Amino acid sequence: MNLPGPDDLIAALHVVSLPLNTRFRGVDHREVALFDGPSGWGEFGPFLEYAPEESSRWLAAAIETGWHGFPEAVRDSVPVNATVPAVADHEVEYVLARYDGCRTAKVKVAERGQSLTDDLARVAATRVVMGPDARIRVDANGGWTVDDALDAIAQLAPYGLEYVEQPCTRVEDLAALRVALARNGIDVLVAADESIRKAEDPFRVKELDAADVAVVKVAPLGGVRNALRVAEQIELPVVVSSALESSVGMSAGVAFAAALPDLPFACGLGTIELFDADVVTDSVVPHDGSLSVRTVTPEPELLDRWAASPDRIQWWKRRVQDAYMHLPR
């Protein structure tokens, strides 16, 4: 991939701070950098704690979008799931009401400071609100040990789980958990997320037979084309997911889902509903449970309205330069 120079990136840079309506990953605003490139707008939004080397993959994804565009789509819309953060059970109905027509929900579990009782109540409330025919998946973000995961999944399974996402941190533990679930007659699929997008070798999941499903995100894997290569080589059913992006970043996830040969699961691309603001008025949000495949161009007045403070803009400029040093040449 031909790279623009760092000065070109800085010249094309806009940094926004978008308020969230639900606290997520410990923050109530999401800062992202956007690039106005010759082929479109790209988003660079690694979470604030990510080091330059890991952040460089996100920068590569933004450059791909802004300077090279997307591969050809094979579908014009993609189904998506609703996302239920680690809220109290009485808030679940309010959260789900934002998602038009979604018949799948991903529920966050294993949140720090909460208990399995909280998780059970949240999942139970989701089942009540969505009804018996909806699909429910849970995401532990690696928060359980193998023993804790086995116990938790056994108690959550009666609510009808589609799969449990990243129940344990280590790939070896995911493999051990799959064996333990089978031995205990618990018929719940295991999905790998962080074990793919944050791993030095995303294919260890395949080698160790550690998952039934691969959750694949564009930005952490360096762009749509690289994500397509990972999806092809990992030889598992793929769920396309997002990383709390604005509509610019979300459009890359939709482009990836639209280019996949097979799309057996609803995609985790509905997180714009967690925002109270966006860089476009026509946000990439589900209608009748699906997202349309389209390009996104931020509106200048919204870029100005949600512009980050000058000191944060300087911080992001340095971050771009630091991540650029780790891009593959």
Report, as residue numbers or ranges, the catalytic residues: 108, 217
Tokens of 195: 């074990």
Q: Is 194 flagged in the annotation as binding?
A: no
Cα–Cα distance, 203 to 195 (Å, whole number) = 9
Contact between 32 and 43 under an 8 Å Cβ cutoff? The reply is yes
**Residue 80 Ramachandran class (φ > 0 left, ψ -120 to 50 alpha, else beta):** beta
Tokens of 192: 């790998």
Q: Pairing state of beta strands 161-165 and 189-192?
A: parallel
Handedness of CA 51, 106, 252, 20 (dihedral sign): negative
Contact between 255 and 71 under an 8 Å Cβ cutoff? The reply is yes
Cα–Cα distance, 188 to 177 (Å, whole number) = 11
Start-end of H helices in the chain: 6-11, 52-68, 92-96, 116-130, 146-156, 171-183, 194-197, 204-207, 224-234, 247-259, 300-305, 310-324
Cα–Cα distance, 259 to 263 (Å, whole number) = 9
Which of helix, strand or coil describes residue 185? coil
Which of helix, strand or coil describes residue 276? coil
Q: Is 193 flagged in the annotation as binding?
A: yes
Amino acid at 233: Q
Element (H, E) at 78: strand 77-79
Contact between 304 and 288 under an 8 Å Cβ cutoff? The reply is no
Cα–Cα distance, 324 to 276 (Å, whole number) = 31
Which of helix, strand or coil describes residue 183? helix
